[in-house]
Amino acid sequence: MKRLLVILVGISLYGKPYHETYRVNRHVKEKLDAHSGLLAKKLKQVHQGTQKHGVWQFDWLQGYYIKYGLARIEGMEKMQKVIDRCNLSSITVADKRVYRIKGTDIKGTDRKPSNRNCAIVIKRVKAENNLAPVTLDEVQQLCTIMHETGYISMTGPLAKKGPNYIRTKDGSFCLIDTESRYDHTNLLKGFIRLLQSHDYTRDLSEEALKHILWEVEQLLKEKPEEIRYTIRALKICLKEQSGVPTWDYKSYIKNFCKQLKENQ
C-alpha cells in the first residue's frame, strides 16, 4: 500500500503542469488577470511569427519581465540540475514563474498548457556594475555549465542583444536567458561568443581570458577545420576592445592565433 502511494504521488508530481509547479503569486496574478487579453494577443503574435521578439515590460507590472516560451522553464530546470550536481556556487538561475492566461484552463479549445496560453514571468534581476573582473574559478563554473548542458549563448555585457547573464550584488552570475540554443556539437561557437561579449579589461581577469582561450584550443583539436573561422573571430574581438589594457592580451592573442595556424 505504501509503495502504491509513493508511485501515485510520483506520477502526480511528474505530471504537474508548469503553471502549477511555478505559480505566480496572488498579487502578480491579479495584475496579469486584468491584462490577460493583451497578453494572449502578444503570445499569439509571437506564436504565429508576426512578432519576433517575445520579451516585454509593462507599466502595470513594474519590476518584472514577461516572456514567451515554455522552453525557458525547461532550460531553467536543466541549468538548476547542473548547478546542484556540480556545486556551481557562483551561478544562479532567475526565478521564472508561469502565468496561465485567465480562463484558458476551463473553457475553449486551447485547454492544454502551451506557449499560446502560458506566459513566463520573471522579476527584474538587479545588476551590480562595480564588481572585480571574472576570476578563474568563476569562468570555470561558466564553462562547466556550458559543457554539461551544451548551452552556447553565455553572453556577457558587450552582447548587442543584451547579456544572457546578469552579475548581482553578491557577485554571482544569474542566468536570465535559458531558452537559447543548447548544442553540444557547437560549443566552439559558445566559447567564441563568450570572448566576443566581454571587455578584456573590465570584465575578465587575465586568468579567465586565458582559460576561455584554452577551451577554444581544446575544441579545435577535434575540429581543425574551424581554425580559420576562429582566428578571424579573435581578430574582430581584439578590434572591438576599447578599455585600457592591464596586461598585454593583444600579444597573447596574436601569439595564440600564430600557434593555431602553425598547428593547422
Ligand X SMILES: Nc1ncnc2c1ncn2[C@@H]1O[C@H](COP(=O)(O)OP(=O)(O)OP(=O)(O)O)[C@@H](O)[C@H]1O
Q: Kindly state whether residue 177 participates in binding Mg ion, applying the rule CB under 5 A.
A: yes
Among 138, 179, 203, 215, binds ligand X (CB under 6 A): 179
Whole-angstrom CA distances from 84 to 72, 91, 135, 213 are: 18, 10, 21, 26
Pick from 82, 79, 90, 80: nearest CA to 208: 90
Which phi and psi (to 5°) does residue 120 adopt? -95, 135
| DSSP-derived pairing of the beta strands 91-93 and 173-175 | parallel
Non-local CB neighbours of 255 within 8 Å, separated by 6+ positions = none
| Residue 81 interacting entry, from ligand X, Mg ion, none, C-beta within 5 to 8 Å by type | none
Binders of ligand X in range 89-118 (CB under 6 A): 94
Minimal distance, residue 127 CB to ligand X, in Å: 7
Binders of ligand X in range 65-94 (CB under 6 A): 65, 67, 94
Residue number with CB closer to Mg ion (22 or 165): 165
Among 42, 76, 92, 177, binds ligand X (CB under 6 A): 177
Identify residue 156 by its one-letter amino acid code. G
- The region of 11-19, 30-38, 158-166, 185-193 touching Mg ion under the rule CB under 5 A is 158-166
Distance CA 85, CA 106 (A): 39
Q: Kindly state whether residue 172 participates in binding Mg ion, applying the rule CB under 5 A.
A: no
Among 92, 104, 164, 197, binds Mg ion (CB under 5 A): 164
Q: Kindly state whether residue 151 participates in binding ligand X, applying the rule CB under 6 A.
A: no
10 Å CB burial of residue 27 (0-12, 13-18, 19+) is exposed
Q: Interface with ligand X by CB under 6 A: which residues? A: 53, 55, 65, 67, 94, 122, 124-125, 161-164, 166, 176-177, 179-180
Q: Interface with Mg ion by CB under 5 A: which residues? A: 164, 177
